[in-house]
């Protein structure tokens, strides 16, 4: 379906403001999702990206709590997309080494534009390939992901978390920002209502009163997309524990959007 220029522009503004989450970004007739333009707009609208900004900030806060002022850490961004999350950390800690992994060359090309630097490396690989590839034991300090792992089913996620645990150094940290599966139909109804209410409040706060209600079907669109296979938060916290992680917890959750993860702590000596 060919969208009007006005509709495309309006959607880009809403995406940039975080009102439409990235995984529901519309695909345009040329097959792109125009994330570069969205990023440019994001810089203009600034703090209006409320929940996404909050989740990214919490991820960075947890990184700071864990690593303090330690420098030259090695980081891996799984499903980096256009690299916005890594860019956020890179702009604050440029001396770190960043590995950005994604299955899409197009997204990696965008990530390159956003994060290019002497200590940034790009890996074109699917999660499935990553899971079965050779383990780089104890290589990374911090592994993180946003809005990507919900494309895998729980059995793959369990394998992914096990691999992440092995690739982390002792003292390392893993954090995942992602949508999770509600625990019942009723819970889903409430959480989808929260999502709609939040979107409409954000529209109202942005002065877009004429748009209120227009995006009420986004939760159902998200649910109907076969590529979205969210697992429950409880199952994923258990998968993290089973993989060996400690201090496993969910650090923030709003509707179906959560940030959760765990630490790989140094082994205690028996003596
Ligand atoms: C919605 S985007 C999120 C991008 C970025 N992390 C963010 O939060 O803006 C999901 C990304 O995961 C990647 N992805 C999805 N499934 C994947 C898979 N099985 N293997 C590797 N990358 C995958 C997509 O190419 C896309 O760039």
CA 234 to chain centre: 18
Residue 18: burial class (beta carbons within 10 Å; 0-12, 13-18, 19+): buried
Mean pLDDT over residues 46-50, rounded? 32
pLDDT tens by residue, 138-186: 999 999 999 999 999 999 999 999 999 999 999 999 999 999 999 999 9
Q: Is 80 in the pocket of ligand 1 (CB under 6 A)?
A: yes
Q: How far apart are the first and last CA of the chain?
A: 68
DSSP E strand stretches across the chain: 74-78, 97-102, 120-124, 140-146, 168-179, 246-254, 257-264
Are the CB atoms for 45 and 114 separated by under 8 Å?
no
Q: What is the pLDDT of residue 51?
A: 78
CA 22–ligand 1 middle distance (angstroms): 10
> Using 50, 70 and 90 to split pLDDT, how confident is the model at 2?
very low
- pLDDT digit string, tens, across residues 59-76: 999 999 999 999 999 999
Q: How far is the CA of 137 from the centre of ligand 1 (A)?
A: 24
Give the pLDDT score at 11. Answer: 52
Q: Is the distance from the beta carbon of residue 126 to the nearest atom of ligand 1 less than 6 Å? A: yes
Q: Distance between CA 90 and CA 86 in Å, rounded?
A: 6
In ligand 1, the atom with minimum distance to the C-alpha of 227 is 16
Task: Compute the distance from residue 11 Cα to the ligand 1 centre, in Å.
Answer: 20
Distant-in-sequence, close-in-space partners of 46: CB < 8 Å, separation ≥ 6: none
Q: Which CATH number fits domain 50-181+230-264: 2.60.40.10, 3.40.50.1980, 3.40.50.150, 3.40.190.10?
A: 3.40.50.150
Please, is 46 exposed, middle or buried when counting C-beta atoms within 10 Å of its C-beta (0-12, 13-18, 19+)? exposed
pLDDT in tens, 213-263: 988 998 999 999 999 999 999 999 999 999 999 999 999 999 999 999 999
- What integer pLDDT is reported at residue 10 of this predicted model? 53
Sequence ranges of the chain with CATH classification 3.40.50.150: 50-181+230-264
Query: Which pLDDT does position 211 carry in this prediction?
Result: 87
Beta bridge partners of 122: 100
pLDDT digits (tens, 9 = 90+) for 13-39: 455 445 445 544 433 222 333 333 233
């Amino acid at each position: 379906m060919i969208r009007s220029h006005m509709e495309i522009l309006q959607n880009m503004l809403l995406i940039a403001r975080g009102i439409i989450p990235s995984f529901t970004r519309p695909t345009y007739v040329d097959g792109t999702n125009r994330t570069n333009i969205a990023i440019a707009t994001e810089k203009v609208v600034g703090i209006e990206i409320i929940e996404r900004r909050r989740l990214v900030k919490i991820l960075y806060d947890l990184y700071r709590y864990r690593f303090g002022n330690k420098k030259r850490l090695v980081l891996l961004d799984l499903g980096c997309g256009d690299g916005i999350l890594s860019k956020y950390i890179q702009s604050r800690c440029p001396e770190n080494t960043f590995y950005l992994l994604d299955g899409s060359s197009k997204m990696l090309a965008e990530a390159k534009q956003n994060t290019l630097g002497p200590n940034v490396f790009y890996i074109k690989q699917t999660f499935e390939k990553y899971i079965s590839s050779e383990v780089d034991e104890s290589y990374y300090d911090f592994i993180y992901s946003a809005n990507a792992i919900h494309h895998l089913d729980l059995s793959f996620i369990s394998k992914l978390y096990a691999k992440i645990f092995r690739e982390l150094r002792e003292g390392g940290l893993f954090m995942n920002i992602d949508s999770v599966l509600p625990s019942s139909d009723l819970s889903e109804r409430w959480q989808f209502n929260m999502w709609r209410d939040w979107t409409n409040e954000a529209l109202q706060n942005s002065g877009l009163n004429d748009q209120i209600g227009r995006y009420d079907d986004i939760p159902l669109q998200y649910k109907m997309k076969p590529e979205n296979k969210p697992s429950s938060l409880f199952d994923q916290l258990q998968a993290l524990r089973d993989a060996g992680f400690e201090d496993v917890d969910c650090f923030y959750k709003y509707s179906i959007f959560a940030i959760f993860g765990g630490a790989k702590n140094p082994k205690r000596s028996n003596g």
